[in-house]
Amino acid sequence: MIQQTVSKSQFKAQALEYLRLVQTQKQPLIITHAGKPVVEVVPYKEEDADKTILKSLKGSVLYYKDPDEPAIDLQDWEMLK
């Protein structure tokens, strides 16, 4: 991944073009001042489905006595019969 850098004065003159570039290429843009990085513009990323599912499950376990023990008896498992 190649990080693109641009000076503040270049960014100021063409801000919309650089923002579109970040959006289309999905790559960050580093804005510099006197050759040193000061700001990183990153593309917006939607929250992925896995995180959304995990968030919906947060707090759903009300009580669990012993996390090292199976949740059900081994005799109840079909595959062990």
Please write the tens of the pLDDT for every residue from 21-61.
Answer: 999 999 999 999 999 999 999 998 877 777 788 888 888 87
Residue 69 identity: E
User: Considering only CA atoms, which of 37, 52, 51, 27 is closest in space to residue 6?
Assistant: 37
> Whole-angstrom Cα distance, residue 67 to residue 81?
24
Q: Domain with 13 in it: what CATH number?
A: 3.40.1620
Q: Is the pLDDT of residue 15 over 90?
A: yes
pTM above 0.75, yes or no: no
For the stretch 57-78, pLDDT in tens is 888 877 767 778 777 777 777 7
Answer yes or no: is 80 within a domain: no
Answer yes or no: is 19 within a domain: yes
Answer yes or no: is 77 within a domain: no
Q: Is the pLDDT of residue 2 over 70?
A: no
**Domain count along the chain:** 1
